[in-house]
């Protein structure tokens, strides 16, 4: 369905894509968004990376540290501002 949000677990999300969403969400100023290598390490160290895509375009990223049993720490939740309802 065109325009529908597709959610997925993407453990191999690349740093450049993560950077784009950080910038589009406005969260980049509070993250090391200018350092792709560091963003890559952040993604690699996450236990769970969930993405949201609309028509293939990455519009959201949730980066989580968890024990998959009881607790989870949502470290980043970035959603491109242009897809948010007014």
How far are the Cα atoms of 26, 35, 69, 74, 75 from residue 80, in angstroms, in the given order? 8, 19, 30, 17, 17
pLDDT digits (tens, 9 = 90+) for 5-45: 999 999 999 999 999 999 999 999 999 999 999 999 999 99
CB atoms within 10 A of CB 19: 19
- CB contact set of 24 (below 8 Å; sequence gap of 6+): 59, 78, 80, 81, 82
pLDDT greater than 70 at residue 1? no
Q: What is the mean pLDDT of residues 40-61?
A: 97
pTM: predicted TM-score of the whole model, two decimal places: 0.92
Please, what's the b/e burial string for 22-58 (b: 16 or more CB within 10 A of its CB; e: otherwise)? Answer: bbbbebbeebebeeeeebbebbeebeebbbbeeeeeb
């Amino acid at each position: 369905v065109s325009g529908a949000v597709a959610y997925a677990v993407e453990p191999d999300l690349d740093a450049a894509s993560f950077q784009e969403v950080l910038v589009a969400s406005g969260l980049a100023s509070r993250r090391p968004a200018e350092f792709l290598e560091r963003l890559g390490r952040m993604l690699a160290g996450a236990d769970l990376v969930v993405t949201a895509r609309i028509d293939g375009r990455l519009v959201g990223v949730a980066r989580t540290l968890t024990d998959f049993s009881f607790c989870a720490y949502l470290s980043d939740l970035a959603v491109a501002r242009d897809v948010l309802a007014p």
